[in-house]
């Protein structure tokens, strides 16, 4: 493959690095300065078919069937060690590829290692049940692997999500085919390369790089896939679900969000300010569970957003490799998408408290840096308060009663995460119980975080849960056995 800053060996299929014959390649750019980072193969139907067939053969092989749960776990523990042993390289690569500040990539590397440890520990604890049907019958259940799992990975947290996908697929005894996002495939390829010496049977783990409409569509529509996990946009999620329907295959969809931080007047203000800020600027707001709506009690709003704006203006903006507070957004395309939302805000007379402009940096003119932005008094039903902007842009909507706060929080098509800020314990739980979302943080907020906590959405944020023990349901199927004696 052509020599560039990051050398890629090809797609990883059946234990080999393959460069498609036609040499069709995709350019991978550095969001920090727009420079060319790497070329990866533009895999399509052919490579996906090769990978899925290889995975199928490996899954049914005696070698994999006799690879004990204990040994699967041991291998995953070793993978965690390897990840930690290569943490600087992985963090550097993630920052070059995604643009996020180095400290955030370092967190992603640690989270990746912890996924491997978490699911390593579970590999030999996937238990069945005995069921007291009637005397003379022994009835039990076995949780068997589901088969060949297709993982379609988004561009915003590629290392974390690739690690989550590989670790659980292997822990549960499946074979995996990963399709990383075309914009950010580098750490997924690196991870697989680092795992190569661990001795997984050939074909159990595969990565095919390529565009969504080619490789992604071929993977989600492949008749030999038994389960699909997808993280990304609602529109693509619908397409993935449609192809899965053709093959009667279950899917886990982790789609976007418009997650609220609900701040009551009796909150501990200092903490609320810290996390409201962090949850919208982390990874330049390109996080599915970003706290992108501030839903705040009217009496404290002015004071709160004045302090929040001051904190935003203090943030340093610059390349992730220089570890600024706020890195670039992924690409020109993403930047233009965010800009169209900001244009709409200006058109509709929405007050921009701070930010709203691109920051041009000398020497990094092809990097798309955006100031952290607050849009004030956005009506709850306004497009800006309803749609995922996927940038460091926070909308502010006020409420006067608890009921109103809940209604606003629930009033979008999404339901991924919510933050509740109050020192009143009764209220905190009362509100949590009425929120239509998959995860509630009370007096803290974990955008993108958490390994042991089930994660996924209500409504258009998707269905099925990743992370924690809950995710095991997606990767196993139950067999019931009844014996008469």
Q: Which of 64, 67, 116, 155 binds ligand NAD (CB under 6 A)?
A: 155
Indicate whether 220 belongs to the interface with ligand NAD (CB under 6 A). Answer: yes
Extract the tokens encoding 289.
Answer: 């569970």
For residue 304, give the H/E element and its range. Answer: helix 298-314
Indicate whether 44 belongs to the interface with ligand NAD (CB under 6 A). Answer: no
Q: Are 114 and 80 in contact (CB under 8 A)?
A: yes
Backbone φ, ψ for residue 206 (5° rounding): -140, 145
DSSP secondary structure letter of residue 24:
-
Question: Minimum distance from CB of 390 to ligand NAD (Å)?
Answer: 4
Max Cα-Cα span within the chain: 80
Q: Which of 90, 181, 296, 471 binds ligand NAD (CB under 6 A)?
A: 181
Indicate whether 466 belongs to the interface with ligand NAD (CB under 6 A). Answer: no
β-sheet with 439-442: strand ranges across:
351-354, 373-376, 393-399, 291-297, 259-263, 417-421, 439-442
Rounded to whole angstroms, how far apart are CA atoms 287 and 428? 25
Question: Minimum distance from CB of 179 to ligand NAD (Å)?
Answer: 6
Rounded to whole angstroms, how far apart are CA atoms 255 and 288? 7
DSSP secondary structure letter of residue 329:
B
288 given a catalytic annotation: yes
Indicate whether 417 belongs to the interface with ligand NAD (CB under 6 A). Answer: no
Question: Minimum distance from CB of 463 to ligand NAD (Å)?
Answer: 13
DSSP secondary structure letter of residue 284:
G
Indicate whether 395 belongs to the interface with ligand NAD (CB under 6 A). Answer: no
Task: Determine which one of 47, 254, 388, 466 is catalytic.
Answer: 254
Q: Which of 236, 331, 371, 439 binds ligand NAD (CB under 6 A)?
A: 236
Q: Mark 106-145 with x for binding to ligand NAD (rule: CB under 6 A) and - for no binding.
A: ----------------------------------------
Number of H helices, E strands in the chain: 16, 22
Q: Which of 189, 217, 281, 406 binds ligand NAD (CB under 6 A)?
A: 217
The neighbour count for residue 197, using CB atoms within 10 Å, is 9
Binding part of the chain for ligand NAD, among 53-61, 98-106, 235-243, 259-267 by CB under 6 A, reads 235-243
Rounded to whole angstroms, how far apart are CA atoms 123 and 369? 43
Binding part of the chain for ligand NAD, among 21-29, 139-147, 253-261, 271-279 by CB under 6 A, reads 253-261
Question: Minimum distance from CB of 414 to ligand NAD (Å)?
Answer: 10
β-sheet with 476-484: strand ranges across:
130-131, 137-145, 476-484
Indicate whether 282 belongs to the interface with ligand NAD (CB under 6 A). Answer: no
Q: Which of 6, 38, 153, 273 binds ligand NAD (CB under 6 A)?
A: 153
Question: Minimum distance from CB of 2 to ligand NAD (Å)?
Answer: 22
Size, binding site for ligand NAD by CB under 6 A: 27
Task: Determine which one of 11, 267, 288, 437 is catalytic.
Answer: 288
Question: Minimum distance from CB of 377 to ligand NAD (Å)?
Answer: 24
Q: Are 384 and 341 in contact (CB under 8 A)?
A: yes
Question: Which residues are CB-contacts of 130 (< 8 A; sequence separation ≥ 6)?
Answer: 138, 139, 140
Indicate whether 275 belongs to the interface with ligand NAD (CB under 6 A). Answer: no
Extract the tokens encoding 350.
Answer: 């929405």
Rounded to whole angstroms, how far apart are CA atoms 29 and 367? 10
Indicate whether 152 belongs to the interface with ligand NAD (CB under 6 A). Answer: yes
Question: Minimum distance from CB of 405 to ligand NAD (Å)?
Answer: 25
Binding part of the chain for ligand NAD, among 193-201, 225-233, 394-402, 463-471 by CB under 6 A, reads 225-233
Q: Which of 61, 141, 233, 247 binds ligand NAD (CB under 6 A)?
A: 233
Which segments of 348-424 does DSSP mark as H helices, in order? 383-386, 402-410
Indicate whether 390 belongs to the interface with ligand NAD (CB under 6 A). Answer: yes
Binding part of the chain for ligand NAD, among 146-154, 372-380, 394-402, 438-446 by CB under 6 A, reads 146-154
Indicate whether 189 belongs to the interface with ligand NAD (CB under 6 A). Answer: no
Rounded to whole angstroms, how far apart are CA atoms 274 and 475? 37
Rounded to whole angstroms, how far apart are CA atoms 299 and 315? 27
Distances (CA, A) of 424 to 294, 427, 428: 19, 5, 6
Indicate whether 154 belongs to the interface with ligand NAD (CB under 6 A). Answer: yes
| Catalytic residue IDs | 254, 288
Tell me which residues touch ligand NAD (CB under 6 A). Answer: 152-156, 179, 181-182, 212-213, 216-217, 220, 231-233, 236, 239-240, 254-256, 288, 334, 337, 388, 390
């Amino acid at each position: 493959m052509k020599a560039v800053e990051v050398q890629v060996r090809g797609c990883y299929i059946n234990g080999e690095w393959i460069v498609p014959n036609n040499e069709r390649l995709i350019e991978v750019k550095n969001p920090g300065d727009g420079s060319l980072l790497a070329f990866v193969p533009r895999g399509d139907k052919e490579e996906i078919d090769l990978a899925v067939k290889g995975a199928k053969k490996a899954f049914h092989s005696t070698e994999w069937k006799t690879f004990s749960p204990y040994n699967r776990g041991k291998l995953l523990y070793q993978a965690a060690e390897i990840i930690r042993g290569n943490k600087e390289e992985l963090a550097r690569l993630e920052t070059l590829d995604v643009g996020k500040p180095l400290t955030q990539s370092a967190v992603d590397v640690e989270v990746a290692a912890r996924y491997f440890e978490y699911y390593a520990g579970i590999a030999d604890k996937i238990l069945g049940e005995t069921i007291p049907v009637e005397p003379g019958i022994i009835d039990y259940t076995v949780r068997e692997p589901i088969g060949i799992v297709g993982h379609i990975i988004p561009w915003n947290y590629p290392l974390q999500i690739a690690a989550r996908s590989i670790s659980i697929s292997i822990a549960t005894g499946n074979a995996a085919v990963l399709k990383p996002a075309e914009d950010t495939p580098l750490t997924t390829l690196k991870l697989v390369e680092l795992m190569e010496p661990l001795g997984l049977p050939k074909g159990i783990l595969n990565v095919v790089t390529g565009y969504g409409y080619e490789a992604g569509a071929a993977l989600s529509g492949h008749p030999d896939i038994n389960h699909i996990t997808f993280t990304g946009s609602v529109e693509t999620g619908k397409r993935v679900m449609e192809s899965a329907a053709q093959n009667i295959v279950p899917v886990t969809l982790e789609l976007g969000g418009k997650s609220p931080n609900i701040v009551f007047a009796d909150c501990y203000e200092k903490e609320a300010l810290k996390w409201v800020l962090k949850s919208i600027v982390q990874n330049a707001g390109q996080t599915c569970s970003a706290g992108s709506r501030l839903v705040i009690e009217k009496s404290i709003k002015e004071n709160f957003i004045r302090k929040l704006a001051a904190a935003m203006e203090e943030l340093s903006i610059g390349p992730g490799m220089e570890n600024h507070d706020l890195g670039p957004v992924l690409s020109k395309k993403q930047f233009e998408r965010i800009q169209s939302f900001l244009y709409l805000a200006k058109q509709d007379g929405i007050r921009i408290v701070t930010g709203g402009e691109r920051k041009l940096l000398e020497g990094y003119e092809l990097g798309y840096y955006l100031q952290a932005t607050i849009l004030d008094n956005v009506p709850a039903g306004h497009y800006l308060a309803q749609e995922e902007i996927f940038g460091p842009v926070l909308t502010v909507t006020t409420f006067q009663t608890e009921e109103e706060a809940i209604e606003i929080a629930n009033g979008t098509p999404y339901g991924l995460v919510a933050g509740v800020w109050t020192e009143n314990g009764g209220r905190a739980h009362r509100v949590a119980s009425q929120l239509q979302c998959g995860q509630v943080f009370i007096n803290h907020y974990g955008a993108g975080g958490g390994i042991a906590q089930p994660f996924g959405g209500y409504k258009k944020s998707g269905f099925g849960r990743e992370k924690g023990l809950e995710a095991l349901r997606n990767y196993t199927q139950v067999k019931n056995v009844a014996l008469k004696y």
